[in-house]
Amino acid sequence: DAGVIQSPRHEVTEMGQEVTLRCKPISGHDYLFWYRQTMMRGLELLIYFNNNVPIDDSGMPEDRFSAKMPNASFSTLKIQPSEPRDSAVYFCASSLRGRLGELFFGEGSRLTVL
């Protein structure tokens, strides 16, 4: 299997611009997670989906952040408008129902907002 695929790997944008991060989970996985990693805050869970349905979005920092999962093989995380404090590495991960605690992570999208 190809693993979790994220794009873009790197993005540099200016404050106020819209940013869209994309994720393709491992085929057959039921759960999809979006995490953000920074030095100060570590790995923060932003939102997760079960069978394409958002289950918990309590980690989404503000209304500027939104996530969708239109089908089992694709998810997006959108930031509009972006701010410098959004600069971080955004990871997508997927897991199988019944495989507690075992997440498969993508390589991450490194976002820099100037």
Partner 1 sequence: GQSLEQPSEVTAVEGAIVQINCTYQTSGFYGLSWYQQHDGGAPTFLSYNGLDGLEETGRFSSFLSRSDSYGYLLLQELQMKDSASYFCAVTEGNQGGKLIFGQGTELSVKP
Q: How far apart are the first and last CA of the chain?
A: 36
Taking residues 54 to 73 in sequence order and writing x for each that binds partner 1 by CB under 8 A, - otherwise, the string is -xx-----------------
**109 CB burial (10 A radius; 0-12, 13-18, 19+):** buried
Interface with partner 1: number of residues (CB under 8 A): 29
Contact 29, 96 (CB under 8 A): yes
Interface with partner 1, residue 1, by CB under 8 A: no
Interface with partner 1, residue 75, by CB under 8 A: no
What six digits make up the tokens of 50? Answer: 């079960």
Report the distance separating Cα 59 and Cα 102, nearest Å.
20
Interface with partner 1, residue 2, by CB under 8 A: no
Phi, then psi, of 84 in degrees rounded to 5: -55, -35
Among 11, 20, 45, 66, binds partner 1 (CB under 8 A): 45
Among 20, 37, 52, 87, binds partner 1 (CB under 8 A): 37
Interface with partner 1, residue 10, by CB under 8 A: no
Shortest distance (Å) from residue 84 CB to partner 1: 19
